[in-house]
Chain A
Amino acid sequence: MSNSRSDGTGTSDPLRPADHADAATPAAAIAQPQLGVIGWLRWGWRQLTSMRTALVLLLLLAIAAIPGSIVPQRTADPNGVLQYKTDNPGLFPILDGLQLFDVYSSVWFSAIYILLFISLIGCVIPRTKHHFNALRARPPRTPARMSRLDDHAEAERIVAPGQDAEAAAVAAVELAQAQLRKAGYRVERYDTAATAKRPATASVSAERGYARETGNLVFHAALVGVLISVGVGGGLTYTGQTVIVEGDSFVNSLGLGYTSFNPGRFVDTNALPPYSLTLDSFDVNYVPVGEAGQGQAGDFAANLTTREPGHDPQQRTVRVNHPIDMAGDRVYLMGNGYAPTITVRNPAGDVVLHEDVEFLPQGATMTSLGVIKIPDGLSQQVGLVGFFYPTAAKLHSGALTSAYPSLANPLLTLDVYTGDLGIDDGTPRNVYALDVSGMTQLTGRKIDVPSLELAPGQTVDLPNGLGTITFDDATASGAREQVKRYVSLSIHRDVGAPWVLGFAIVALTGLLAALFIPRRRMWVKATPGDGVVHLEYAGLARGEDPAIAVAVADLVRDHGAAMDAAGTAGSAGEAVAASEGRAGGPGRS
C-alpha cells in the first residue's frame, strides 16, 4: 500500500490511504490484471480501508443514529415503547421487526460501526508501522531545486574580504541548523562535495511535527479503546434498583435487596460485595408558596448508615449528582416519595397487616398512588387502591388534589376491592399495581360510595365488616414526620467507565495534536559563489498548515539576524522576496 509521492523529497510520509487528498494522483487508466480470489480480497480490503469508505460509513453512522431519537428506545425509555405499542398497534410490529426500538444494538447499526472500526484498524495499523519507522528515520535529502517548492525564499550575502566563501557557507548552514534544532526540528546535514560543474554546497534538512501523525494514530487507537471498554465493561456491569423506607435497610444481595436487577453477561450475581444501607432520614426542600417556582423540590439528600464487613458503620449522604461509593458500587439517589404506615386488623382486632406502603408520586405536588394487598387474615382477599395527598385540597369539581408537596394536610383516600388478588398461583405481580378485573369494588367514585378517607392517626372500618384500617401517625413510633418517606436508589457497578473516560481523554489529546501541530519540512542551502554566499530557504507543509509561509519568512528573518550577529558571512546580504507559488485559483479545487 505504499504510495510514493512525487513531491521531490522521495518518501511518502505519513502513509495515507490511496485516496487521501495528500496521496499521489493515480495514473489514469491502469490496465488491471486479472484478479484471483486473493486479488479480490486484497481489492476489497483496500476499498474498506480507503478514506472514501470511512467517510461514507461515518455519514451512515450519523444517519443511522437518528431514528433512535425519534422512536422510543427499550433501553432508555421502556415505558415509551409500551405506550407506542398501545398508540400504534399496526405500525409497532413493522418497526419492531426493523429493530427500531433497539436501534443501538440493532444488526444494521452494529454492522455500520463494526465495519467502520475494521476500516479504521485496517487503516491505522499500516500507518502506525510506517510512522514507527519514520520516527527513527532522518529528515529527507535536500531537494536539488528548492525553488520548485511553494514556500521558498532566496538571499545573497557578501562574504567579508579575506574570508573563504565555502567556509562562510558552512558556517551559515551551521547557524541555521542550530536555529532549527532549537525550534524543535530534527535536523540532518546534506553537504555535497564540489564537482566539475557545481561548487560544494552546504545544506541542512529539517523536519518537525511528528506528533501530528502520532496524535492522529493515538486518536484513532483510543477510539478503538473506547469501543472495547464499552463492550467489555458492559459485560461486567450491573445495575439494580431498590427502595428503602426511612428506618429500613437494604442488603446488597440479589435475593434480598433489589426490586430489579440487570447484570451484564459476565457478572457473578452470587458474589456481590456484601454491604448494607439503612435510610436514617430523607431531606428535601420545597420552594415556599408565593416565591417563583413554588413547590419546586430540591436539595434532596438521603442520609444513610452504611455497613461493610470489617468497617465501623458510617453516616453518609447520597445527593443528586453526588453518588457514594460502596465497595466499588456507586449508589445513586433516583427518586423519593411517601410511605404511609398502614395497619389492618380483622374484626377480632388482630393485626393482619402492618407495613409502610410506598406510594408513587404522580407529579410535582406529590399526589401519590399506592396499592395495598391483603391476601390473608380477612374473610376475603382485599385490595386497596389509594391516593395520598400530602397537602390535601378540594378542587371545584369536588375531587381532591395536593396543593403542595410537603406534609401540611396529609390525607389518604382508599378504594376497597374484594375478590381474587391473583397471587395465589404464584404468578409474580407488580406490587405497585392492582389487577381489579376479578374483583368487586366496595368504595369509590365509580360506584358512588365515598372512598375511605384517613388522616394520620385515624382508623376507619372497612366495608362489609371486613375489619378496620389505620393510617398510623409515624411520629408515634419515633419518626420525624407523620408520614415516612422513602427513597429509590440505583446501584451500579461499571468497571468499564474509568477506562472509557481514560481513552476519551487520550483521544482528545491525540486529536489536539493531530489537528494543530503542523508537520513541516524546512531546508536551508548555502552555495558559495564569487565573494558571496547564495542562500536558499524552502518549506514544505505535510497536511494542513496555514502558517507555513509565515514559518519560512520567520526562518529567513531569524537566520539573517543570527548571521548578522555572528558576522559569519558579511552583513550586506539582502533577502530576495520569497516567490509565493500559492496562487489560489479555481483550478486547484
Chain B
Amino acid sequence: MLKALFLGFLLLSLIFFSGCVNNQTISKGNTTNLTTEELENQAIAEIEKEMNHAIENMSTEDIENLITE
C-alpha cells in the first residue's frame, strides 16, 4: 500500500514537473517583447483565417442583390 502511494506521489510530481519544463520551454530564449510579437503573429494569423473563410462565403449573388436593391 505504502509502495503504491509512493509511486502515485512520484508520478504526480512528474506531472507537475513536466508542466514546469513545458512553460520554461515557451519562455526560454525569448525576451518578453518577442513573445508578445509571436503571440500577435498568431492572433493575426487567426484573424486572417477567419477573414478568408468569411469572404469566401460571400457569393456574387449577395453582392448583386446589394447593388440591385
**Are A and B bound to each other?**
no
A binding-site residues for B, Cβ under 8 Å? none
B binding-site residues for A, Cβ under 8 Å? none
